[in-house]
A and B are shown apart, each in its own frame.
Chain A
Amino acid sequence: MTSAESSRGATGPVVSQSAGRFPSGADAFPHRDLLGIGLLARHEILYLLEEAEQWVALNRGAAKHTDRLAGLTVINAFFENSTRTLLSFEIAGKRLGADVVNMHAAQSSVKKGETLIDTAITLNAMRADAIVIRHGSSGAVALIADQVDCPVLNAGDGSHEHPTQALLDALALRHALGDRGQAGDDFTGRTITICGDVLHSRVARSNILCMQALGATVRVCAPPSLMPVGIEGMGVEPFHDFDRALAGTDVVMMLRLQTERMNGQFVPSAREYHHLYGLTARRLAQAAPDALVMHPGPMNRGVEIDSDVADMIDRSIITRQVEMGVAMRMACLDVLTRRRRRVEGWA
């Protein structure tokens, strides 16, 4: 039995794969919070991926429940509207047996003028055992983490980071490659092209850091108006021509284009954007023959991606990303609460 399983509420069929491959106990993941991929070492990313495998297995079974986090309170404080991420975290928390509370801060006292710090202090006083935060400003989650005593998980801060998205993307990719008999601990030798609104995308930033940490070569593709200055400083190769960016790529990761960016402020129109940057079946043919297609969702079908590509059974792993999202978030909640649960080796 691994140290994780000796914790209060661990249940039968769930088996961690990480024993022996990583440092023992808290040395495997010494962080209190999960604020960004940029703060993680490669082995820590791999550890979280490995920990998620047990939850993939659980979620695929009939009884999708464990009481590992029984008695713990997880607060999902979303200062920015979200449906998918919130749902994913909520399901993750509930499947682990935690009491999950969703706080839609965009509709709460924040609108009455309560500062972010005050909100953090309030959440802290409610003795949450983990707080999941999404906020529209870069750095806001780290600011709150400084004010509270419990682990904080970044569910997206401004254009900065969205670490669990990158981790679930890595997990989905690893599974998809595994299904093809190409399993490996890393993505060395693979080329991943991220295309879309890189300028505003926290998903892009976290994925650049995560995929590079796992050995992949990362390309980014966007029109100049949506390409951040100095992005090559992050070790990626920038492209404006999508066809060139796709040449020989193993994975195409499309980004959602927000509706407000389509109205002539950043690109002339959705129609023109699709013409240059929409992933069509014809365009996908430029990539490696068996290239995989990813998208963090929700998709603008017919804008950044065509339906026939999004729904390709053998190439698109978009729904698998959603599936892995729950498992990955379960792993993050499990690992980050081990100190509080006084798990052996973590207390």
Chain B
Amino acid sequence: MKQQRAIAIVAGRLVTPGGIREGSIRLVDGRIADFADARDGDEIVDAGGRLVAPGLVDLGVFAVDKPAFRFGGITRAALMPDQNPPLDYAARVNFIAKSGKPDLWVHPLAAATVGLAGRELAEIALMRDAGARAIATGRHWIADSGVMLRLLQYAAMLDLVVISHAEDGGLGGGAAATAGEIATRLGLPSAPAEAEALAAARDIALAELAGARLHLRQVTTRGALDLVRSAKARGVAVTAGVTPAHFMLSDLATMDFRTFARLSPPLRCEDDRQAVREAIADGTIDVIASGHDPHGPEDKRLPFADAAPGMAGAETLLPMTLTLVRDGVVDLPRAFDLMAGAPARMLGVEAGRLEPGTEADIVLIDPDRPWVIDCRKMAATAGNTPFDRQPAQGRATAVWKGGVRLS
């Protein structure tokens, strides 16, 4: 599926790295050609003043879920290695790298260790050559510091970023909630928020030692964010990510044992939620991802602690991040850098920004369009969203992948 005809999207508000630019954009042969008006023979799309933005690059999804990605304006997704079997073998990585094309590009993340067990290094170079764009520790932290150091050294040699789940396993194992009044009232197994800071501190120290690039996939506590902030200030190549749940919700959302709010890391206290918003505003957080992890009722209609953690996030990534713009936390170009530009740079792919020469992955957005999130009507394979029945604003109205319109 290739772009047959040049497309000119006119009368739009283009979200470019340099700022919002009123005007038109031309897509030719699957790439962005220039910011120019339509020429003869172009297919013309009238944006009607809506936002024309880069397709979102979702860093760290757990399932390839095209309908949900299309709904959410996601054109590329980096797939976590926690698959069955895990992505710890080059042939599997290669299969996944080709699996979504042409309408979705899936960038597999190589498992850091064999079977994601945290003990032996996986064949990272072979997986890189098979299409892996980064290395990930999966849902769990690597407990053995020696293994983690050797992984980071190896990754630095290969110039691959290591995406780590920062939660100390000794403290966090078996926990379903963050230690605090809510977990205590509900009687839920919990871990202190410091489990995240401890893991982040160790991983940052080891990355600094190894001279490696480290991305902490979800940083959700004030303590860990302070560590990232200070590491960045002294020049460590560390980046941080978060999902909308942790800047929109606190542990209050778990009060009725609703398992859609059973997440990993668990929802934090209000102060940590505010810390995440501050960290997004000051640049400590680089990436906002959906953490898309659809689970059906067989995994979610269980007692809270027994339910699988995770949320179907692809459809709500865009509207929830746009709330940060409306709240004045970030401006529009930065919002799209969080959702598209930064993850694309991390993966080393030519996408994620509106710039001549890059892939024509475009999403047309009506930023004011109101809708209500409804777990029963999701495009995702499962509707386990903690935002169920919440009003939202902003929606993708059209998506182009490589210059080909998907919806």
Chain A contacts to B: CB under 8 angstroms: 38, 115-117, 135, 137-140, 142-143, 157-161, 202, 205, 228-231, 233-234
Decide: A138 and B181 in contact? CB cutoff 8 A.
Answer: no
Whole-angstrom distance between the alpha carbons of A142 and B258 in the complex? Answer: 10
Give 8 new A-B contacts, CB below 8 A, not counting A38-B185, A138-B257, A138-B304.
A135-B303, A137-B304, A139-B305, A142-B257, A143-B257, A160-B186, A161-B187, A205-B185
Cβ contacts B62-101/A at 8 Å (1 or 0 each): 0000000000000000000000000000000000000000
Which residues from chain B contact A138 at a C-beta distance below 8 Å?
186-188, 257, 303-305
Closest 9 CB pairs of A and B: A159-B187, A233-B181, A137-B303, A139-B257, A230-B181, A160-B187, A229-B179, A140-B303, A228-B184
Which residues from chain A contact B183 at a C-beta distance below 8 Å?
228-230
Decide: B303 and A158 in contact? CB cutoff 8 A.
Answer: yes
> Which interface residue of B184, B188, B305 has the most chain A CB atoms within 10 A?
B184
Q: Name the one of B184, B190, B297, B305 contacting A233, with C-beta atoms under 8 angstroms.
A: B184
Which residues in window 279-320 of B have CB below 8 A to A?
297-298, 301-306
- Nearest CB in chain A: distance from B256 CB, A: 8
Which residues from chain A contact B333 at a C-beta distance below 8 Å?
none
Decide: A115 and B304 in contact? CB cutoff 8 A.
Answer: no
Whole-angstrom distance between the alpha carbons of A230 and B185 in the complex? Answer: 9
Cβ contacts B171-211/A at 8 Å (1 or 0 each): 00000000111111111111010000000000000000000
> Which interface residue of A115, A142, A143, A202 has the most chain B CB atoms within 10 A?
A143
Which residues from chain B contact A139 at a C-beta distance below 8 Å?
186, 188, 257, 303-305
Whole-angstrom distance between the alpha carbons of A284 and B94 in the complex? Answer: 70
How many residues of B are in contact with the other chain, CB < 8 A? Answer: 23
Which residues from chain B contact A116 at a C-beta distance below 8 Å?
302-303
- Nearest CB in chain B: distance from A316 CB, A: 27
Q: Which residue of A lies closest to B192 (CB)?
A: A229
Q: Name the one of A117, A161, A230 contacting B184, with C-beta atoms under 8 angstroms.
A: A230
Decide: A158 and B305 in contact? CB cutoff 8 A.
Answer: yes
Which residues from chain A contact B257 at a C-beta distance below 8 Å?
138-139, 142-143
> Which interface residue of B179, B186, B190, B192 has the most chain A CB atoms within 10 A?
B186
Which residues from chain A contact B297 at a C-beta distance below 8 Å?
117
Which residues from chain A contact B182 at a C-beta distance below 8 Å?
230
Decide: B303 and A143 in contact? CB cutoff 8 A.
Answer: yes
Decide: A234 and B185 in contact? CB cutoff 8 A.
Answer: yes
Contacts A139-B257, A142-B257, A143-B257 hold; do A234 and B184 have CB atoms under 8 A apart? yes
Contacts A138-B187, A229-B190 hold; do A234 and B181 have CB atoms under 8 A apart? yes
Which residues from chain B contact A229 at a C-beta distance below 8 Å?
179-181, 183-184, 190, 192
- Nearest CB in chain B: distance from A260 CB, A: 14
Which residues from chain B contact A140 at a C-beta distance below 8 Å?
303, 306
Whole-angstrom distance between the alpha carbons of A159 and B188 in the complex? Answer: 7
Which residues from chain B contact A158 at a C-beta distance below 8 Å?
187-188, 303, 305
Which residues from chain B contact A135 at a C-beta distance below 8 Å?
303
Can you show 7 pairs from A to B with CB atoms below 8 A apart? A115-B301, A137-B302, A142-B257, A143-B301, A158-B305, A161-B187, A205-B187
> Which interface residue of A116, A160, A205 has the most chain B CB atoms within 10 A?
A160
Whole-angstrom distance between the alpha carbons of A135 and B306 in the complex? Answer: 12
Which residues from chain A contact B189 at a C-beta distance below 8 Å?
159
Q: Which residue of A lies closest to B182 (CB)?
A: A230
Whole-angstrom distance between the alpha carbons of A138 and B183 in the complex? Answer: 10
Which residues from chain B contact A160 at a C-beta distance below 8 Å?
186-188
Q: Which residue of A lies closest to B177 (CB)?
A: A138
Q: Name the one of B181, B190, B305 contacting A137, with C-beta atoms under 8 angstroms.
A: B305
Which residues from chain A contact B306 at a C-beta distance below 8 Å?
137, 140
Whole-angstrom distance between the alpha carbons of A234 and B181 in the complex? Answer: 7
Which residues from chain A contact B185 at a C-beta distance below 8 Å?
38, 205, 233-234
Whole-angstrom distance between the alpha carbons of A140 and B304 in the complex? Answer: 8
Contacts A142-B257, A143-B257, A230-B181 hold; do A202 and B303 have CB atoms under 8 A apart? no
Whole-angstrom distance between the alpha carbons of A229 and B306 in the complex? Answer: 21
Which residues from chain A contact B190 at a C-beta distance below 8 Å?
228-229
Which residues from chain A contact B187 at a C-beta distance below 8 Å?
138, 157-161, 202, 205
- Nearest CB in chain A: distance from B335 CB, A: 34
Cβ contacts B358-382/A at 8 Å (1 or 0 each): 0000000000000000000000000
- Nearest CB in chain A: distance from B246 CB, A: 19
Q: Name the one of B184, B256, B302 contacting A231, with C-beta atoms under 8 angstroms.
A: B184
Q: Which residue of A lies closest to B184 (CB)?
A: A228
Whole-angstrom distance between the alpha carbons of A233 and B192 in the complex? Answer: 16
Which residues from chain B contact A230 at a C-beta distance below 8 Å?
179-184
> Which interface residue of A117, A159, A202, A234 has the most chain B CB atoms within 10 A?
A159
Which residues from chain B contact A234 at a C-beta distance below 8 Å?
181, 184-185
Whole-angstrom distance between the alpha carbons of A202 and B304 in the complex? Answer: 16
- Nearest CB in chain A: distance from B180 CB, A: 4
Whole-angstrom distance between the alpha carbons of A135 and B304 in the complex? Answer: 12
Q: Which residue of A lies closest to B176 (CB)?
A: A138
Which residues from chain B contact A205 at a C-beta distance below 8 Å?
184-185, 187
Whole-angstrom distance between the alpha carbons of A142 and B259 in the complex? Answer: 12
Whole-angstrom distance between the alpha carbons of A234 and B185 in the complex? Answer: 8
Which residues from chain B contact A115 at a C-beta distance below 8 Å?
298, 301-302
Whole-angstrom distance between the alpha carbons of A158 and B302 in the complex? Answer: 13
Which residues from chain B contact A228 at a C-beta distance below 8 Å?
179, 183-184, 190
Whole-angstrom distance between the alpha carbons of A137 and B306 in the complex? Answer: 7
> Which interface residue of B185, B297, B302 has the most chain A CB atoms within 10 A?
B185
